[in-house]
Structure 1
Amino acid sequence: MGKRVFGSIDSFVESPEADLKLGRLVANFGFLQALLRYADFDEFHLFCPTLDNLKLVQQRLEACVDDALLSKVVLSHHFNVPDALSRTDFSAFHLGDWYWYLSKMARLRARHASHPLPLTAPIHSLNGGDMFDKVAALAAAPLLPGDALFCTSTLGMGVVERHLDHAMAGGTGSRPACRLLPLGVDEEYFTRRDRAASRKQLGLADGGFYLLYVGRLSAATKADLVPMLYLLARLRLEGPGTDWRLLLAGGASASDLDNLRQVVAELRLEGAVAVLGPVSDADKHALLSAAEVFVSPVDNFQETFGISIIEAMAAGLPVVASDFDGYRDLVRDGDTGFRIPTLATRPPQVVGDMLEVLEPNLSSLIYAQGVALDMDAFGRRLIALADNPALRRQMGERGRAVAQAEYSWRAVIQGYDAAWRQLKREADAAGLPPAAAQGRPAMSAIFHDYPTRHLADELMLELTALAHAILRAELPMPATYAEVALLGSGELLSHTVQALLAGPQTAASIRRMVQGQLPVAADHIDYQLGWLLKYGLLRLAG
């Protein structure tokens, strides 16, 4: 049996920040770490969009992965993808999100792959106004048996299936398989921590009954928390026996924080509610340990899973959350927590008519403002948990067990690996189709009439006085931009210049002389000639 090779045109690292807050960034980097630790591959080929990103990935991995695993990782630039597709029998080629690259990778595979390979990608947010265009592009892409979308929740998979049904209503196009596979959380979330010590670390009063929300503090992109603040104010008025406290942590804009703090002040909750904003990973672990109950009244259609729910379960907290989106899969009502019923109303027709051009956060906010939680039920569930410590412990321990069995990264990657093995078998059985046509015109053809002229075989070229001054070391050689340098080499530059030392030459003859010395493609030589012309080291003779 040959070696198993994993490939991706995603590097799974977008931000230099070590403490990632956005759900997609957390999920993707967590996935990468878990993939290296738990998946059964001999090599991991990650193709990075820029050299800066490649360096960032290298730094992030060196900080959290041991040398043995790091030795299996091959980092290279996107420019290397066509050659890798032609040379490598990938067992899986997986992306960080279907949205950007999946349809494009299908076209690259059609043009360059010499071995069948499954293309897979997870879903994240599905509510963008351009979803129809993205799904239509996916339906029109040359997908093959073995290609699949990994859907993180049952409801999210339903959205994807309905989009595909709509896009393929005419009976044309390819349809990827949809597989239900969740996201995961790191093992450190299962570490038991002392509640009193965590409260002391955070400076929290030891006697309060703490509810914790962790997630973006944004009504436009996550959850409107104001109704929950009003609920807390009512609970404090009606239930003097419980010292209700609420901790709100997560990424937020300055205006989001100001708005929440203003409502807290208007409701006279300053001593009961802490609007913390972004917190470090260490403080998040302490918050999860310090709280009695985790709450998440999400109302936004951008949500498809809910990593914060799994983090809370792993920490042993009962969860009270919306009966909405991916939360319906995660929270087992009456077992690991409670789901609060939701009711939705449609916005006016003008919102749907303008969805594709509305500012994304505005459209998300408008749809979310039509989603209401049953606040009476919310209050009853919180009171039931506050009044019953045994129920809290039972639900918390049950949630921890479910998270460990189903949502630890170790368990999740095992599911991914099993899916990739099956999809690779399907891809191998189907084989590659006949070589595809180019499928799209070259940029140089589309913009053919922009420049005055193009490099042609018969053009006579010669070195300039500037080139000779540089060769005599009187001036430095112009620097090449890092990404552009990947398309050439010092050896190519040297042989190209040497071909012209004897005097003027045609582009065709220069190409022949260089290829007599180096195994290099003609288009790379032509691009090198173009660079020398651009910086004034070459000119048209005569």
Structure 2
Amino acid sequence: MVLIPSSLAVLYAADAFGNAERKMGRQQAGQGMLAALIRSTQSSHFPVVATRQEDLSALRQQAQLLQPGLNLHLWPLDKLDRLSGVDALLVADPALARWAEARQWHQKGAAAWSLIGMTHTLSSVAALEALRGLPASPIRAWDALICTSRCAREAVQVVLAHQAELLARRFGGQARAWDGPQLPVIPLGCDLDRFQALAAGREQARVALGLQSAQVVLLFVGRLELHAKAHPGVMLQALSRVAQHHARETPDRPRPCLLVLGTARSQATAAAWREAVDYFSQWFDLRLFDGQDDALSDQAWSAADLFISLADSLQETFGLTPVEAMARGVPVICTDWNGYRDTVVDGLTGCLIPTSQPGPATSHRLAELALGRLRYDDFMADLMQQVVVDEDALVVALERLLNDASMRQRMGEAGQRRARQLYDWNHVVGEIRSLAADLTEKRMAAVGQNEVQGSFPSPWQQFASWPSRHHQLAGNICLDPNRFQQRLALMEQLQIYARFSTAADPPLRLSALRPLSAHLQTMAAAQSQTFVVSIDALQAALPDQTAAALQHALAWLAKIGALELSA
């Protein structure tokens, strides 16, 4: 099929494409995508839809820098009913229903142009409301919602199916497929040329940062909030285990170094990280760098031998930093989690660490979030408490890559090739333009057609495809007495654990944690080796605790490595 060339307009908003005060993956991706769209424009005009109050001076300057002579063709947002000369409107979020409703005011109705949205986080009430509104909106088959990962698409499909079932029950009949939108998987991209240029200068960067040439340097980049990206406990524990092993076996070897590049939003988070630095620095070098400092960020990336990101937040849908690491030729250790498993090829460009979370039927607190009794950050923290990253598998991966420079080089080179093939913004924008052309074909073919209890699924159901597996909060648990006592002590001692367990704020307090821990301590004291106990027996021994509270506490204890849950 020969695709009809299409004119793609961008709905511009500074929050999506502008220079945000605090660097977030969404804004960085938006800036990169917009630059690639400008570079790839074949016409002398670049169509932009924006409010009359939007400051477009930075966009005009960027357009002239990337394409001298290119003119911005501005269309006011309040005149969408007269928008002409474009075939598709790109919206950098999933809230397509609003624009589909606005399109209905056009004399051509839904056939006026195609809408293309993009997923980012899918866990907020705003995102869920945007998705829930699609089945009842005038979205058509020539519209599309770009999903940045396969897991993102599955999460979207869960919400759409849930809403379709609600509508079918309300109006009678059966839930069935409806004509739109398309759900293509198109990843985010990055500026390959810039990142590869910055990959040079390793030795100079190490000198500037005071690092040894022979030191193996790991890098984490991301939000430092303990609940919003990746809880650091498993990363720090696993690296300390590996470092202690190296200290015993090869005492003359330089200690590994972990660079943490990011920004803390709160003083409590910053204090928790400083405390972690004080504790874990006895085994490896641990340094915190300001993620807002561009020069320091480039030096940290250039100095890195290995990138690590153990995302465990349902807020994550794609995860851009592993792609940026591959673009720079740095091998990646990351969790087998949502979009990460699309980007990182286990054993080829890095290592994927198994994860687990409760199954779709597990209790949740979405009603509290939707009704305003629970803050979004607390909701995400509540879910984070129950996601487990396989610490032992992480130790194995760290041992392999810290000990094998040639493997790191092979993986880095393979990652760079993969990034060039799949994630260069020029390639990604080409996919978006091809999608627009395909949607135009569908729309033109349809010309002449007649145009006229819980609101959301459980987060564990919506995000059921995020982890490697679902752990079962039934059956048995396995407990090593010594390790259990050590992790319980750290839970009391370190804020990275205590803040969301023993010292948690009331909304996040684990009511069953202390009685469960006390009961398991009594059992562990009578054991000299690893033992197994059934969850039914624990429930019988703790009759005052609800099953949900007990399961939540067990998930947290598994998360910190104090016990193991059955698969």
Q: Same fold (TM over 0.5)?
A: yes
Letter in 2 for 1:73: L
Report matched runs for 1:30-429 at 5 Å.
30-40=32-42, 43-62=45-64, 64-68=65-69, 71-83=70-82, 85=83, 88-99=84-95, 102-114=96-108, 116-169=112-165, 170=168, 171=175, 175-186=180-191, 187-191=193-197, 192-240=199-247, 241=250, 242=253, 243-255=255-267, 256-269=269-282, 272-345=285-358, 349=363, 351-356=365-370, 357=372, 358-429=374-445
Contact 2:122–2:128 (Cα < 8 Å) also in 1:
no
Contact 2:18–2:31 (Cα < 8 Å) also in 1:
no
Distance 2:13 2:104 in 1: 22
Describe the shift of the 1:305–1:141 C-alpha distance in structure 2 as closer, same or farther (beyond 3 A). Answer: same
1:472 maps to what in 2?
none
1:439 maps to what in 2?
none
Distance 1:132 1:52 in 2: 27
The secondary structure found in structure 2 opposite 1:179 is coil
Distance 2:398 2:234 in 1: 14
Describe the shift of the 1:182–1:319 C-alpha distance in structure 2 as closer, same or farther (beyond 3 A). Answer: same
Distance 1:50 1:166 in 2: 37
- String of CA shifts for 1:487-523, please: whole Å, max 9, x gaps: xxxxxxxxxxxxxxxxxxxxxxxxxxxxxxxxxxxxx
Contact 2:280–2:286 (Cα < 8 Å) also in 1:
no
Distance 2:256 2:204 in 1: 20
Letter in 2 for 1:406: L
Describe the shift of the 1:98–1:350 C-alpha distance in structure 2 as closer, same or farther (beyond 3 A). Answer: closer
Distance 1:41 1:158 in 2: 36
Letter in 2 for 1:25: Q
The secondary structure found in structure 2 opposite 1:180 is coil
Distance 1:42 1:21 in 2: 31
1:483 maps to what in 2?
none
Q: Which moved more, 1:278-287 or 1:88-97?
A: 278-287
Describe the shift of the 1:19–1:407 C-alpha distance in structure 2 as closer, same or farther (beyond 3 A). Answer: farther
The secondary structure found in structure 2 opposite 1:324 is coil
Distance 1:176 1:287 in 2: 42
- String of CA shifts for 1:230-260, please: whole Å, max 9, x gaps: 2222222221135111001123214322211
C-alpha RMSD of the superposition: 2.6
Describe the shift of the 1:10–1:382 C-alpha distance in structure 2 as closer, same or farther (beyond 3 A). Answer: same
Contact 1:157–1:178 (Cα < 8 Å) also in 2:
yes
Letter in 1 for 2:424: S
Distance 1:52 1:269 in 2: 51
Describe the shift of the 1:379–1:408 C-alpha distance in structure 2 as closer, same or farther (beyond 3 A). Answer: same
The secondary structure found in structure 2 opposite 1:178 is coil
What is the TM-score normalised by the length of structure 1? 0.74
Query: What is the CA-CA distance between 1:94 and the residue it aligns to?
Result: 0.8
Distance 1:162 1:270 in 2: 44
- String of CA shifts for 1:355-390, please: whole Å, max 9, x gaps: 323211111111112111111111111111111111
The secondary structure found in structure 2 opposite 1:168 is helix
Q: Which has the larger radius of gyration?
A: 1
Describe the shift of the 1:419–1:4 C-alpha distance in structure 2 as closer, same or farther (beyond 3 A). Answer: closer
Distance 1:252 1:195 in 2: 27
What is the TM-score normalised by the length of structure 2? 0.70
Letter in 2 for 1:290: A
- String of CA shifts for 1:435-464, please: whole Å, max 9, x gaps: 75xxxxxxxxxxxxxxxxxxxxxxxxxxxx
Describe the shift of the 1:39–1:398 C-alpha distance in structure 2 as closer, same or farther (beyond 3 A). Answer: farther
Give structure 2 stretches of 5+ with no counterpart.
169-174, 453-567
Query: What is the CA-CA distance between 1:301 and the residue it aligns to?
Result: 0.6
Distance 1:11 1:266 in 2: 43
Letter in 2 for 1:330: T
Describe the shift of the 1:270–1:390 C-alpha distance in structure 2 as closer, same or farther (beyond 3 A). Answer: closer
Distance 2:362 2:138 in 1: 38
Letter in 2 for 1:181: I
Distance 1:366 1:14 in 2: 28
Distance 1:410 1:293 in 2: 26
Query: What is the CA-CA distance between 1:270 and the residue it aligns to?
Result: 9.2
Distance 1:260 1:50 in 2: 43
The secondary structure found in structure 2 opposite 1:239 is helix
Distance 2:20 2:121 in 1: 23
Contact 2:49–2:74 (Cα < 8 Å) also in 1:
yes
% same residue: 28
